[in-house]
Amino acid sequence: MSERPPSVEPNPDPQPSGGPLRVTVDLNLCQAYAQCCYAAPDHFVLNGREALHYDPAPSAAARADIERARIACPVQAIHVEDAGTAHR
Amino acid sequence: MSGAETRTVVVGASLAGLRGAESLRKSGFAGSLTIVGDEPHPPYDRPPLSKAVLTGEIAADATTLPNLVALDATWRLGVPATRLDRVRRTITLQGGETLAYDRLLVATGASARAWPDADQARLEGVFTLRGRDDAQALRHALTASPGHVLVIGGGFIGCEVAASCRTLDLPVTLVETGATLLARVLGQHLGSVVEAMHKRRGVTIRTGVKVKALEDDGTGRVMRACLGDGTAIPADVVVVALGAVRNTAWLEGSGLSFDEGGLDCDADGYALDTDGQADTHIAAAGDVARFPHPLYPGHPIALEHWGHAVAQGARAGRILAGHAAEPYAEVPAFWSSQNGITIKSVGLTEGADGFVIARGDPKEGRFLAVYGRAGRCVAAVAFDCARWLPAYAERIAAGAPFPPEPGGVDAGTFTILPLAFPEPAHEDEA
């Protein structure tokens, strides 16, 4: 397992809103590879060996880090959405 | 069923309702969509409420769920549905307004089981934990430096709340009527492993004893709990964690088959009436849906699992959008984190007749237990070893023989251990 964040460029935001984000992680899928913790250390933290704590409502400024974390997840457990588009 | 003239109503604006609504749209449903929720909040994520919200790592209002699909829906939040008329195909909302439906998704979820004495339940300082507002209120009480927190009920929510209290360095006692914590789900053997884990973090645990009464200080504020053994525990915050009852009361008079354990559904996911006939205009999903699961024959089950709400919600959306019903055989799965330990489970332990420690060692805090029933694997529970779990989920789905093959070349044959599940609980023994 690589200890470095993968060198994947985040997707350009299709609808740049500049607004805050909503993040959920499917913790059934999560296997604590901790790639998100390397990609966005301010927003994903492992407590103990496997308990992932994450920021469900990051600010717009974190967009690139959050997107990198989403892409880095080996089990693709991270979902990201613009808060501004929610619940239309 | 995707005609633009069709009206679909989703009753329940939490995870199953939201994922169901998204699935309707993804499945091509182009008609009008109305989502009714009894809480004023848009759909939010519940798992953090007993953990990161209580410890203050995240704010209660930060749990709002992303919706992954543009819904083009009418949201009716903060107004519960009070009646279902299947003849007229209408939902009545509190206040008397009616909504007509052609297709209906029932996703009303569950509520925390209340403390049985209503007067005591109303005392200041007594909480249940189910919704976002509950979590915010309890968080507020925990930040006011309570002298002692009492948690009643040693299930997953009770254990998580007790662990959160210790993270906040609050003195906490957990009272459980059973022989160990989590005995009903894990059996006493692993329940005692969990118990030791909580004791090490400073939780005081009283098992095999019942809280008889909550007493106030004369001003309506809770002060102490009296136990069945004659002892008392001083407490200025009490968290009642006695499980959940399904939100089905609004279905009274609908002719559907339901009780506080859920709304009965057929294997396709359609609601059943009291004659056992499916109403193909109505599907149910999430905590409220009680359905036959092919891996666990015998009696229907209602699952309070996050992943189940997602999967069954999505499936209900597909069938309501007119797609052919498909067999639902998702292996149940859930997680809990307590004291920095992550417990993950696949399958259902209920009815298991033995288990083995298939990998790791409970003494080291990292292990995987496999549960068997009549010679088949029915569940696996992992403590801090999530990566071992998917292989066992496959064995459970396949009904693989129990005990499983030894997990390593140096492993001997497994010893099947007794589970010591408690006798079926009686309602009055909460």
Whole-number pLDDT of residue A2: 40
DSSP code, position A12: P
Whole-number pLDDT of residue B339: 86
Segment (H or E) for B58:
none
CB contact under 8 A, B66 and A30: no
Q: Is residue A9 part of a domain?
A: no
Chain A residues within 8 A (CB-CB) of chain B? 22-24, 26-28, 30-32, 47-51, 53, 55-57, 79-81, 83, 85-88
Give how far A14 is from chain B: nearest CA, Å: 14
Q: Which CATH architecture has domain B114-242?
A: 3-Layer(bba) Sandwich (3.50)
Tell me the C-alpha distance between B96 and B340, whole Å.
48
Mean pLDDT of A69-87: 85
Whether B7-111+245-320 and B340-398 share one fold: the answer is no
Which pLDDT band, with edges at 50, 70 and 90, does A84 fall under? Answer: low
What are the tens digits of pLDDT across the range B265-299?
Answer: 999 999 999 999 999 999 999 999 999 999 998 89
CB contact under 8 A, A81 and B71: no
Phi/psi of residue B108, nearest 5 degrees: -85, -5
Mean pLDDT of B129-139: 98
Whole-number pLDDT of residue B142: 98
Whole-number pLDDT of residue B415: 84
User: β-strand B237-240 against B149-152: which pairing, if any?
Assistant: parallel
For chain B, give every domain's residue range: 7-111+245-320, 114-242, 340-398
Q: How many CB pairs under 8 A join A and B?
A: 87
Average pLDDT value over all residues in chain B: 94
Considering only the beta carbons, identify the residue of A26, A53, A88 that sits closest to B70: A88
**In Å, how far from its chain's centre is CA B160?**
13
For residue A63, what is the domain's CATH number? 3.30.70.20
Q: How far lies B182's CA from each of A58, A77, B227, in Å?
A: 34, 27, 20
Whole-number pLDDT of residue A10: 40
Q: How far lies B92's CA from each of A20, A33, A82, B8, B95, in Å?
A: 36, 48, 33, 14, 8
Check if the interface score ipTM surpasses 0.90.
no
Q: Is residue A36 part of a domain?
A: yes
CB contact under 8 A, B342 and A31: no
Considering only the beta carbons, identify the residue of A48, A80, A87 that sits closest to B340: A48
Tell me the C-alpha distance between A34 and B134, whole Å.
31
Q: Is residue A54 part of a domain?
A: yes
Tell me the C-alpha distance between B138 and B120, whole Å.
17
CB contact under 8 A, B387 and A32: yes
Whole-number pLDDT of residue B414: 80
C-alpha angle with apex B181: B180 to B182, nearest 5 degrees? 115
Considering only the beta carbons, identify the residue of B63, B68, B342 that sits closest to A81: B68
Is the confidence at residue B303, as pLDDT, over 60?
yes
Tell me the C-alpha distance between B422 and B183, whole Å.
7
CB contact under 8 A, B66 and A48: no
> Cβ–Cβ contacts within 10 Å for residue B406, how many?
14
What are the tens digits of pLDDT across the range B356-384?
Answer: 999 999 999 999 999 999 999 999 999 99
Tell me the C-alpha distance between B104 and B426, whole Å.
34
Among B91, B77, B74, residue whose Cα is nearest residue B32: B74
Contact B393, B346 (CB under 8 A): yes
Mean pLDDT of B416-430: 68
Determine whether B22 is exposed, middle or buried from the number of CB atoms within 10 Å of its CB (0-12, 13-18, 19+): buried
Phi/psi of residue B220, nearest 5 degrees: 90, 10
Q: Which long-range contacts (CB under 8 A, 24 or more apart) does B169-172 make?
A: B170/B142, B170/B146, B171/B147, B171/B202, B171/B204, B172/B148, B172/B202, B172/B203, B172/B204
Contact B346, B389 (CB under 8 A): yes
Residues of B in contact with A32 (CB under 8 A): 342, 386-387
Q: Is residue A51 part of a domain?
A: yes
Which pLDDT band, with edges at 50, 70 and 90, does B425 fall under? Answer: low
Q: Is the torsion defined by CA of B376, B418, B412, B379 positive or negative?
A: positive
Mean pLDDT of B143-169: 97
Q: How many CA atoms lie within 13 A of A74 on its CB side?
A: 13
More confident residue, B326 or B229: B229
Number of domains within chain A: 1
Residue matched to tokens 């740049």:
A16
Contact B18, B100 (CB under 8 A): no
Q: What are the counts of helices (DSSP H) followed by strands (DSSP E) for chain A? A: 2, 4
Phi/psi of residue B344, nearest 5 degrees: -125, 145
B47 by DSSP, 3-state: which? helix
C-alpha angle with apex B25: B95 to B100, nearest 5 degrees? 30
Tell me the C-alpha distance between B426 and B373, whole Å.
24
Whole-number pLDDT of residue B420: 80
Mean pLDDT of B405-416: 70
Tell me the C-alpha distance between B93 and B82, whole Å.
5
Give how far A67 is from chain B: nearest CA, Å: 15
Contact B23, B285 (CB under 8 A): no
Is the confidence at residue A20, as pLDDT, over 90?
no
Mean pLDDT of A67-85: 89
Which pLDDT band, with edges at 50, 70 and 90, does B411 fall under? Answer: low
For residue A53, the chain B residue with the least C-alpha distance is B52
C-alpha angle with apex A40: A37 to A46, nearest 5 degrees? 25
Residues of A in contact with B132 (CB under 8 A): none
Q: How many CA atoms lie within 13 A of A25 on its CB side?
A: 31
Is the confidence at residue A11, as pLDDT, over 60?
no
Contact B416, B369 (CB under 8 A): no
Tell me the C-alpha distance between A64 and A33, whole Å.
20
Whole-number pLDDT of residue B408: 61
Class of the CATH-defined domain B7-111+245-320: alpha beta
The dotted CATH code for B340-398 is 3.30.390.30
Among B48, B71, B136, residue whose Cα is nearest residue A23: B48
- What are B406's strand-pairing partners? none
Cβ neighbours of residue B199 under 8 Å, at least 6 residues apart? Answer: B205
CB contact under 8 A, B342 and A32: yes
Give how far A21 is from chain B: nearest CA, Å: 8
More confident residue, B3 or B34: B34
Whole-number pLDDT of residue B280: 96
Tokens of B332: 């149940």
Whole-number pLDDT of residue B327: 81
Determine whether A75 is exposed, middle or buried from the number of CB atoms within 10 Å of its CB (0-12, 13-18, 19+): middle
